[in-house]
C-alpha cells in the first residue's frame, strides 16, 4: 500500500522541529520496513499566520508498506507523542501537533487546501471537513491543518538539505565556518540560493533558534546540496535529510485578498509617501496604507523616492491595524510607471544668457547679471528620477519568496502565470 502522511507543529520555542521529528521518524520506518518514496516535502505555509513558531513549515511524505492505515497512523502518532514529551515539550508551550494519513493519490481538493493554507487562514473545522471528504485520517490538534496542506503540494520546485546537531551540542552556540559556506555557494551558483548575504557578509544557512537544526542549504539540485556536506566545515553533524520544498516559489502570492493575515497583490497609484520617525515608510493611494518597514532595507530606501502619480504593484500581507482597520505590509514592490518629475524655471536672459528673476505674474523677467527686462514664459525642466522601473525587494526575504534571480523549474508552468 502507498500512503501519503503529513505532520506539523512538533516544535516549541524551547526545542524540537517538525523536520527533525520527520528525520527521526524515517529512521524508525527503516526498522519496520516502511519504505520512504522519493524525497519528503518541506512545505512553507502562509507566512503571516500569527501562531507559527518560526517559518510555518510542515512536512509530508509518501511511503510504501504492508501495514494498514490505522496501524501506521498509530505508529506515527505514538512517536509524535514521544517527541513532544521528550524533545519539544510542545504541550507546555501551547503547541498543537497533528498527523494526517491518506491512500496516496492526487486530488484537486487536496491541492486546493494546500493553496488556501499558503495564502490564507484555514480553520480546523475546514480542515476536518476536507479530511472527511477525502478519507484522510488524523490525530492531534491544530497541526492537522499544516499536515493536510502539505500533502496537497505538487512537488518539484527547490530543495533544502537540513543537517541536525548532536544532542550534546544543543545548548552551545552553533559552529559553521563562514568561508567554507561562501566558497561552496560561489562554486555552485546559480544552482544554490539564499545561503549567503553577500552585502552584509553573513551566512543565512545557520539556524538561530533552540531547535536541533545546524544549517539548511537551499538550492535547485539534490546533487549540488550534497556537495555542501563535503565542503562546509562545521561542528559534527548527527545526520541530514534532503527535502523537496516550495521555498522560493512565490506561492504565497498566487492569490490576493484583503482578509487579515492573507496575501495581498495589487496595483497602487501613489498619492503620498510618509517617512515615519524611525524609518518605516507609509505609502498612501490605495484604500489601505502600504507600510514598508525599515528592516526591508533596499525596498524601504527605494519607496522614499516615489512621487504622486507613480504606479506600483505591491506584494505583501494584509494585517489588522487599530488606526486604519487594515494595513498592507509590503514584501516586494514592482515599480511599473514613473511620472516625469517636472519643475518650472525662469528663462535665461536673451541678451547675455544670465539667469533671471520673475517680476511678478505676467510682468516678465529681469536678468540677474545685466539687469535687462524681458517678456517670456517659464521653462519646464525635468529632474532625473532616483528610482527606476523594476522590482525591489528586501534581501531578507521569506522562505516562500522567490529571489529576484532564481529561475525555478516551475516558472514556465501554467499554474503560476
User: Residue numbers of the site for ligand ATP (CB under 6 A)?
Assistant: 8-9, 11, 17-18, 45-46, 49, 51-58, 96, 117, 121-122, 142-143, 145-146
What is d(CA 181, CA 203) in angstroms, rounded to the nearest whole number? 7
Q: Which is nearer to ligand ATP, 51 or 198 (CB)?
A: 51
What is d(CA 347, CA 344) in angstroms, rounded to the nearest whole number? 9
What is d(CA 58, CA 79) in angstroms, rounded to the nearest whole number? 17
Whether the CB-CB separation of 287 and 328 falls below 8 Å is answered with no
In the complex, least distance from residue 81 CB atom to ligand ATP, rounded to whole angstroms: 16
Q: Which is nearer to ligand ATP, 45 or 232 (CB)?
A: 45
Give all strands of the β-sheet with 237-245 in edge-to-edge order: 137-140, 98-103, 2-8, 57-64, 35-44, 237-245, 158-165, 213-219
Q: Is the peptide bond before 190 cis (omega within 30 degrees of 0)?
A: yes
In the complex, least distance from residue 78 CB atom to ligand ATP, rounded to whole angstroms: 19
In the complex, least distance from residue 12 CB atom to ligand ATP, rounded to whole angstroms: 8
What is d(CA 100, CA 306) in angstroms, rounded to the nearest whole number? 48
In the complex, least distance from residue 298 CB atom to ligand ATP, rounded to whole angstroms: 26
Q: Which is nearer to ligand ATP, 251 or 332 (CB)?
A: 251
In the complex, least distance from residue 287 CB atom to ligand ATP, rounded to whole angstroms: 24
Strands 379-383 and 281-284: unpaired
Q: Which is nearer to ligand ATP, 58 or 249 (CB)?
A: 58
In the complex, least distance from residue 118 CB atom to ligand ATP, rounded to whole angstroms: 7
Q: Which is nearer to ligand ATP, 8 or 227 (CB)?
A: 8
Give the CA distances from residue 70 to residues 20, 100, 158, in Å, rounded to whole numbers and listed in that order: 23, 11, 32
In the complex, least distance from residue 252 CB atom to ligand ATP, rounded to whole angstroms: 10
Q: Which is nearer to ligand ATP, 47 or 289 (CB)?
A: 47
In the complex, least distance from residue 57 CB atom to ligand ATP, rounded to whole angstroms: 4
In the complex, least distance from residue 414 CB atom to ligand ATP, rounded to whole angstroms: 24
Q: Which is nearer to ligand ATP, 52 or 368 (CB)?
A: 52
What is d(CA 281, CA 292) in angstroms, rounded to the nearest whole number? 5
Long-range own/partner contacts, residues 341-346 (CB < 8 A, 24 or more apart): 341/307, 341/382, 341/383, 341/384, 341/385, 342/380, 342/381, 342/382, 342/383, 343/380, 343/381, 343/383, 344/378, 344/379, 344/380, 344/381, 345/378, 345/379, 345/381, 346/378, 346/379
Q: Which is nearer to ligand ATP, 143 or 248 (CB)?
A: 143
What is d(CA 145, CA 336) in angstroms, rounded to the nearest whole number? 37
For 336, how many CA atoms within 13 A lie in the half-sphere containing its CB? 10
Q: Which is nearer to ligand ATP, 171 or 362 (CB)?
A: 171
Cell of 54: 518560526
Amino acid at each position: 500500500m502507498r500512503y501519503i502522511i503529513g505532520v506539523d507543529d512538533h516544535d516549541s520555542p524551547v526545542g524540537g522541529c517538525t523536520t527533525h521529528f520527520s528525520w527521526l521518524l524515517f529512521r524508525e520506518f527503516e526498522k519496520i520496513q516502511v519504505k520512504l518514496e522519493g524525497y519528503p516535502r518541506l512545505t512553507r505555509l502562509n507566512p503571516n499566520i500569527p501562531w507559527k513558531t518560526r517559518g510555518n513549515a510542515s512536512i509530508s511524505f509518501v511511503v510504501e508498506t504492508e501495514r494498514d492505515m490505522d496501524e501506521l497512523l498509530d505508529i506515527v502518532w505514538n512517536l509524535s507523542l514521544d517527541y513532544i514529551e521528550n524533545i519539544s515539550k510542545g504541550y507546555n508551550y501551547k503547541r498543537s501537533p497533528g498527523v494526517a494519513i491518506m491512500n496516496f493519490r492526487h486530488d484537486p481538493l487536496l491541492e486546493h487546501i494546500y493553496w488556501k493554507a499558503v495564502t490564507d487562514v484555514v480553520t480546523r473545522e475546514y480542515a476536518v471537513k476536507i479530511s472527511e471528504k477525502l478519507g484522510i485520517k488524523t490525530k492531534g490538534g491544530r497541526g492537522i491543518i499544516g499536515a493536510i496542506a502539505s500533502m496537497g503540494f505538487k512537488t518539484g520546485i527547490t530543495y533544502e538539505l537540513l543537517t541536525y546537531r548532536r544532542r550534546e551540542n544543543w545548548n552551545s552556540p552553533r559552529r559553521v565556518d563562514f568561508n567554507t559556506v561562501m566558497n561552496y555557494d560561489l562554486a555552485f551558483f546559480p544552482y544554490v540560493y539564499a545561503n549567503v548575504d553577500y552585502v552584509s557578509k553573513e551566512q543565512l544557512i545557520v539556524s538561530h533558534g533552540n531547535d536541533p537544526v545546524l544549517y539548511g542549504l537551499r538550492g535547485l539540485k539534490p546533487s549540488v546540496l550534497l556537495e555542501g556536506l563535503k565542503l562546509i566545515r562545521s561542528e559534527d553533524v548527527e545526520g541530514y535529510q534532503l527535502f523537496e520544498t516550495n521555498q522560493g516559489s512565490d506561492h504565497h502570492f498566487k492569490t490576493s485578498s484583503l482578509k487579515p493575515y492573507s496575501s495581498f497583490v495589487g496595483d497602487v497609484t501613489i498619492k503620498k509617501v510618509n517617512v515615519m520617525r524611525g524609518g518605516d515608510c507609509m505609502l498612501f493611494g490605495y484604500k489601505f496604507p502600504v507600510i514598508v518597514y525599515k528592516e526591508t532595507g533596499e525596498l524601504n530606501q527605494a519607496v522614499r523616492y516615489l512621487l504622486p502619480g507613480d504606479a506600483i504593484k505591491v506584494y505583501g500581507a494584509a494585517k489588522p491595524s487599530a488606526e486604519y482597520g487594515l494595513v498592507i505590509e509590503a514584501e516586494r514592490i514592482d515599480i511599473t510607471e514613473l511620472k516625469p518629475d517636472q519643475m518650472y524655471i525662469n528663462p535665461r536672459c536673451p541678451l547675455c544668457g544670465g539667469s533671471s528673476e520673475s517680476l511678478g505674474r505676467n510682468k516678465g523677467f529681469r536678468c540677474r547679471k545685466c539687469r535687462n527686462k524681458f517678456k517670456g514664459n517659464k521653462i519646464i525642466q525635468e529632474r532625473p528620477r532616483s528610482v527606476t522601473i523594476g522590482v525591489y525587494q528586501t534581501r531578507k526575504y521569506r522562505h516562500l519568496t522567490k529571489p529576484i534571480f532564481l529561475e525555478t523549474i516551475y516558472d514556465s508552468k501554467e499554474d503560476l502565470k
